[in-house]
Amino acid sequence: MNHGVVLFHTTSAALRAEKILTSAQLVVKLIPTPREFSSDCGIALRFEWDDAVRVKELLDNARVEVAGIHQIN
């Protein structure tokens, strides 16, 4: 399964994103931010890469501030 991660500036934003995406029935998981990315915030949100467009749209609509979205293996 191909995954992506959403990076945030704050934990609160990550938790807010988790709630928004979970209630939209997406499969997501909060994980420690992978080392290769920014260390802005200790946790990142992993999602299924097929949902990338949906994830971006949902977070944009809710005006959640995102530090980056990346594909991971």
Between the two ends of the chain, the Cα-to-Cα distance in Å is: 8
Which 26-65 residues touch another protein, going by CB under 8 A? 30-33, 39-43, 63, 65
- Indicate the residue among 32 and 53 with the shorter CB distance to another protein: 32
Q: How many residues form the binding site for another protein (CB under 8 A)?
A: 21
Rounded to the nearest whole angstrom, what is the least distance from the CB of residue 30 to another protein in the complex? 5
Contact 26, 6 (CB under 8 A): no
What's the token pair of residue 58?
């949902």
Contact 8, 41 (CB under 8 A): yes
In the complex, which residues of this chain contact another protein (CB under 8 A)?
Answer: 9-16, 18-19, 30-33, 39-43, 63, 65
